[in-house]
Amino acid sequence: MLPIGHYLFLSAALFIIGVIGVITRRNVIVILMSIELILNAVNINLVAFSRLYGDVAGQVFALFIIADAAAEAAVGLGIIIAFFRNRETVLADEMDLLKW
Amino acid sequence: MLDKVLFYIFAGLAIASGALMVTRRNAVHSAIFLVTALLATAGIFLQLRAEFLFIVQIILYVGGIMVLFIFVIMLVNLDVALQQIQFARQKWVALIVALALSAQFGLMLWSSEKIPGQGIPVLAAPPASELPANSEAVAQSLFGNYLLAFEIASVLLLVAMIGAVVMAKKEK
Amino acid sequence: MEAERETTLSSEATTENKTLLGADELIINMGPQHPSTHGVLRVKLKLDGERVIGSECIIGYLHRGVEKIGENRTYQQFAPYVDRMDYVAAVSNGLGYCEAIEKLLVVEAPPRARVIRTILTELQRIASHLLWLGTHALDIGALTPLFYCMREREEILKIFEKYCGARLTTHAFRIGGLQYEAYDTLEKDVERFCKDFESRVAEYETLLTQNRIWIGRTKGVGILTAEDAIAFGVTGPVLRASGVKWDLRKAAPYAAYDQYKFEIPVGTTGDTYDRYLVRMEEMRQSRLICLQAIENIPAGPILAKVGKVLKPPPGEVYHAIEAPKGELGYYVVSDGTVQPYRVRIRPPSFINLQAFDRMVRGHLVADVVAIIGTIDIVLGEVDR
Amino acid sequence: MMQAVIQATMDFLKLYWAPLLCGLVIVAVLPLIVGYIVLVERKLMADMQARLGPMRVGPHGLLQPIADAVKLLIKEDIIPDNADKLVFWLAPVLSVGAALLSIAGLAIGPAFQIAKDINIGILFVVGVSAMGIFGIVLGGWASNSHYSLMGSLRSSAQLVSYETAAGMALVSGLLLTGTLNIKAIVEAQYNEGIWFVMLAPVAFFIYLVASIAETNRAPFDLPEAESELVAGYMTEFSGFRWSLYFLAEYTNMIVVSSVATTLFLGGWLRPFARVHFFNFLDYVPPLLMIGVAGYCLLRTPKQPSRVQQLFMLAVAGLCLALALVLLAPVALPIAKPLYAGIHGGFWFIFKVSAYIYFFMWLRFTIPRYRFDQLMRLGWQFLIPLSIVNVLVVGVALIVGSYFNLHGWSMLLVTTPAAIIALVVALMILAAGQQSSAGKENAPASDFYAG
């Protein structure tokens, strides 16, 4: 494997791209996708360190993160569909009511 | 050498498609680029000899979660969405956050390589041939040390499933 | 009412925010070029997801002005045109027209002609039902029955071909009787066909009747209650499947039907499965009629004494027969010249199609094709 | 820098030239194989429907696939005006790419596997082939047509639901081996002396049904249901793009059949591979080939033209040559080492063909499900059944290992397990009928949300 710095750099880059996406996009679905990208960046870190130490614990935690991402996507998209049905929009800044 | 080439290919692909994902107006295009980024990450996993994670990434992330995303994007019609402004007026915030984050990460990477013994340990990874069979090792760890976490994760998924069903259910 | 619905539908079709979920609907155009609209029917479906919440049949793509043509042809000249309406049951169309004009002329076809007419018409009924069964099963996804049905239909068409030289648009009858004497082996051919046909119907039944998927796709789909059916003026197997025992062959016998014994199958629920069962049983009954008829074909002339130039006395007549698809009626007004003053045709498919909207509402897209199939429409007849 | 790249490429080629070559061969030959599968399907369909099928191009239509391929290649390539061009271009490629890539993991006989001995073996095949769904979904969306969109929505919902059932069925199969490696799976069946279809019949059944649904074949071919959605997601595709979808569909059929064959039907093993009494089965493949050759020779004089007669002779000759090749390892002691490779390949292809034959048979026999019925079958029957099956197979295995059972004696514990699973299945069915009897006219409304 390459020096760990390479992986950390890649991970950091993806993380920052994800954060930019979360901040700049209005479409909630795209925001959710950016979050997936961030989680993914974290996974790269975990797996890289797991390889470095020759210990699979990192990979196991990456698995948990993927499971978490699945749960998050399911609930998030469920909310989006429910919201869209009522408000006909998927834009984050139009979600301005606590109850509808 | 092959390792290195593969890493650069996958890393370049991941970053490029990540950037494209954030900048495309069309949500379906964004999703496609996210899929590419995820596949590239899967490639990185493979390059790190995490075969099991590679296939889990493909089956779960690409084949499961992303299909769900595309599905929902198709359900909430795009024609309307495309006419709306896609980017919030938060460019400056984003720039500042991105700069701050990169500064922090850069500093960390730089300092850790400067000072041995601190930050990132300067270790040599064990050669690939010495690693145990990957899926077996992951399974043993998952069902051994992390059994409780595994069970909790399954409960989490169950909760998510129920939540999603309740959320998406049509009100009659 | 129609126009109002048209406008509401089309105005909704242009509004934005079309989604699959949520309160909004999707408008989908089925046809005129669609594999399973049985020709050129166009159905505008209003969908909520896959559920049909409204529908509109748009017809006229095959309109040839048959009724108007009738006013510009002599009585004999018009006879071949009626074959082109329900082109899968041309013999029945011809029978109805010939009998209507005979009624107008106050002549009666000789007994021999009437028996042969009955045989050919019943064969035509079987052929029409076979085509219906094949295409209906194909719409629901069973590929194979179509070819079996075509095989049997081919036998019937061969008999037609031997009889009059044509297979599809036969123009088999003439006003006043038949033009052609029955060929020598007609009885034998029909008998052979009827013998084989028994086991063939059983074969289709093994393919479909007890098939779980078939039952799942047809039971409870497109229910038409007896009241609705009568209110819509629906006739034929569609009406009988709803539990109304009404068949013109019994109610107002024509040709030689009063001489034969046969049952009128009726359904109970009026769903697609019942209509399927009714038609299957009708094929069996038609076979029985054919068998009875060939046993005793009376000798004698085949054409009543009608002049070369037909000039019916002024007056009007309505004559209806039980075509394979339902009541096929001809309303002919004569002004005493060689051409009819007005010909109005009551095509069964056209009337039966009215019930389509009632039948599809609340069902899924997949059921729409099943319901189009089960009404058994022929667009040549709907549009005329 | 340039040199380094060249060096890396050389290293890569030196290490992986054999798999690369195999991959190239597969990509080149597979369209032809698929073409002939289509021909076989049409011939079978014709046979079951009392007609002849393609007869014009070549003797008995044997050259039809080539004619079809040429026709598809030279057809006009139509892209609808309002289509999303990029995605429209990408979608069929994705579909076909995923299907072809998954072939890499398969082992056709012990000697022939492109990606040799990968640790995640069968998961790789299943996972990669599942990516083909993107081609379908995106293709339907990009066409910008309601029929296509409905087709792709149907297909994504269908694939996602049935993948779960198929995955669970695979899990119960994999429990028996304890490995994902394809070679090891087949070897386990050799060592046990029994195919896993006997030990986990319910899992095989679930996989059979789910694999039909996953490949969008009748009676689950709703995404492309001709009579409803014209051609579903493929409605707007024509010419070569359309044929790519077709290629993907049939390749997927090969893939799912291969997975089933590997995991449940003993892979490349001969029936009763370890029983010497059945060694005469080794003569079946050559005899079969000789039989086909004999039939061709018999039919040769009846061919109408000289060209067709020659063609039939050529086919007969080919079969005879194959028979010789198959006979050699059995008859000649020198060729003995080739036995596993050659006969393994034969048996594997034979089993895959039988599986595909079953697909086709179903397609010509039964009507199509409705979408809500399909979803109900998947979620209310197959998935619960597969979960129960995983449980009972697991328990059976533990009991079996407690009594130290192996091979055929494992049937003692797995048969009761299968019976329990079946009883549960019947219970689920009965419950489903009871609940659906009340709302016969109100099919489940929210099946997309699943």
In this prediction, residue B172 has a pLDDT band, given cuts at 50, 70 and 90, of very low
Query: Are B67 and D159 a contacting pair at CB < 8 A?
Result: yes
Q: Are residues C51 and C132 in the same domain?
A: no
Radius of gyration in angstroms for the set of CA atoms belonging to chain C, rounded to a whole number: 21
The whole-angstrom separation of Cα D154 and Cα D157 is 5
Q: Which tens digits make up the pLDDT trace of C179-221? A: 888 788 888 888 888 888 888 888 888 888 888 888 888 888 8
Contacts of B123 in chain A (CB under 8 A): 52-53
Section C264-289 average pLDDT: 87
Question: Given a cut of 50, is residue B105 above it in pLDDT?
Answer: yes
Interval D179-204: pLDDT, tens: 888 888 888 888 877 888 878 888 88
Q: Which residue has the higher pLDDT, C48 or C242?
A: C242
**Per-residue confidence at C23, pLDDT binned at 50, 70, 90?**
very low
Q: How many CB pairs below 8 A link A and B? A: 235
**Rounded distance between C-alpha atoms, residue B7 and residue B45, angstroms:** 10
Confidence of residue C142 (pLDDT cuts 50, 70, 90): confident
Confidence at residue C21, expressed as pLDDT on a 0 to 100 scale: 43
Q: Is residue D354 predicted with pLDDT exceeding 80? A: yes
Mean of the pLDDT values across residues D289-310?
82
Q: What is the mean pLDDT of residues D124-141?
A: 85
The confidence score (pLDDT) of residue C116 equals 87
- Whole-number pLDDT of residue C13: 39
pLDDT in tens, C163-190: 888 888 888 888 888 888 878 888 888 8
CA distance A98 to chain B (A): 16
Residue A94 lies in a domain: no
Which position has the higher pLDDT, C266 or D119?
Answer: C266
Residues C152 and C228 reside in one and the same domain: yes
CB contact under 8 A, A33 and B160: no
CA dist D276 → D193, D255, D341, D407, D408 (Å):
12, 31, 19, 16, 16
**CA-based nearest residue in chain C for residue B76:** C19
In this structure, are C226 and C332 located in the same domain? yes
The answer to whether the beta carbons of residues C329 and C17 sit under 8 Å apart is: no
pLDDT exceeds 60 at position D449: no
> Number of residue pairs across A and C with CB atoms under 8 Å?
10
Please give the single-letter amino acid code of residue D403.
F
Query: What CATH number does the domain containing C275 carry?
Result: 1.10.645.10
Residue C330 bridge partners (DSSP): C319, C345
Q: Which is it for the CA torsion D187, D191, D193, D197, positive or negative?
A: negative
What is the total residue count of chain A? 100
Domain that includes residue C21, residue range: 2-58
Residue-wise pLDDT tens digits, D87-105? 888 888 888 888 888 888 8
Query: In the structure, what pLDDT confidence band is assigned to residue D146 with cuts at 50, 70 and 90?
Result: confident
Termini Cα distance of chain B: 61
- Total CB pairs under 8 A between chain B and C: 15
Interatomic CA distance for residues C274 and D188, integer angstroms? 53
Residue B75 has its nearest CB partner, among C16, C17, C21, at C21
Contact predicate D35/D62, CB 8 Å: no
Q: Which residues of A touch B69 (CB under 8 A)?
A: 29, 32-33, 73, 77
Contact C220 D365 (CB under 8 A): no
**Amino acid C15: pLDDT:** 38
pLDDT at residue B122 is higher than 70: no
CA dist., res. D338 & res. D325, Å (int) = 10
Number of folded domains in chain A?
A: 1
Are C32 and C152 members of one domain? Answer: no
Q: What is the mean pLDDT of residues B72-77?
A: 75
Sorted by where each begins, the domain ranges of chain D are 1-74, 75-269+364-438, 276-363
User: DSSP state, A91?
Assistant: B
Decide: residue C47, CB within 10 A, 0-12 exposed, 13-18 middle, 19+ buried.
buried
pLDDT value for B16: 92
- CATH of residue A24's domain is 1.10.287.3510
- pLDDT score recorded for residue B84: 60
Whole-angstrom distance, CA of residue D299 vs CA of residue C279: 43
Co-location of C271 and C291 in the same domain: yes
Whether residue D411 is predicted with pLDDT greater than 80 in this model: the reply is no
Mean pLDDT of chain D: 80
Mean pLDDT of B61-71: 83
**Which amino acid, residue C34?**
H
Contact with chain B for residue A42, Cβ under 8 A: no
Do C51 and C171 sit in the same domain of this protein? Answer: no
Do C180 and C91 lie in a common domain? yes
Helices (H) and strands (E) in chain A, counts: 3, 0
Contact C304, C110 (CB under 8 A): yes
CB interface of C with D, residues 97-116, below 8 Å = none
Mean pLDDT of chain A: 82
Interface contact flag, B80 C20, Cβ < 8 Å: no
D8, D123, D448 member nearest B5 (Cβ): D8
Q: What's the token pair of residue B82? A: 């495309």
* Distance between A81 CA and the closest CA of chain C, angstroms: 8
Burial of D50 (0-12, 13-18, 19+ CB in 10 A): exposed
The pLDDT value recorded for residue B113 is: 62
User: Do residues D207 and D36 touch, judged by C-beta distance below 8 A?
Assistant: no
Checking if the pLDDT of B70 tops 80, the result is yes
DSSP output for D259-295: HHHHHHS-TTPPTTTT-GGGGGGGGHHHHHHHHHHHH
Give C-chain residues touching A85 at CB under 8 angstroms.
Answer: 21-23
Contact criterion met (CB < 8 Å) for B72 and A56: no
- Residue C19: the pLDDT is 44
- Residue to substitute from A23, A31, A83, A93, interface B, most B β-carbons within 10 A: A23
Query: Closest Cα of chain B to C12: distance in Å?
Result: 16
Searching chain D, which residue's CA lies closest to the CA of residue B30?
Answer: D87
Q: Which of A9, A54, A68 sits opposite B126 (nearest CB)?
A: A54
pLDDT digits (tens, 9 = 90+) for C56-76: 888 888 888 888 888 888 888
Q: Does A23 or B82 have the greater pLDDT score? A: A23
Does C21 sit within 8 Å of B80, measured CB to CB?
Answer: no
| Cα torsion angle, D261, D263, D267, D271, sign | negative
In this prediction, residues D115-130 reach a mean pLDDT of: 80
pLDDT in tens, B125-157: 666 666 677 777 888 888 888 888 888 888 988
pLDDT tens readout for residues B154-171: 898 888 888 888 876 665
- What's the rounded mean pLDDT across residues D322-338? 76
The pLDDT of residue C16 = 39
Chain C residues whose CB is inside 8 A of the D219 CB are 141, 213
pLDDT tens track for C329-354 = 899 888 888 888 888 888 888 888 88
Q: Which domain holds residue A31?
A: 4-88
> Among the ranges A45-54, D270-279, D441-450, which has the highest mean pLDDT value?
A45-54
Among B4, B35, B135, select the one facing D134 at the smallest CB separation.
B35
Q: What count of other Cβ atoms lies within 10 Å of the Cβ of residue D215?
A: 26
Residue % of chain C over a pLDDT of 90: 0
C177 plus C194 within the same structural domain = yes
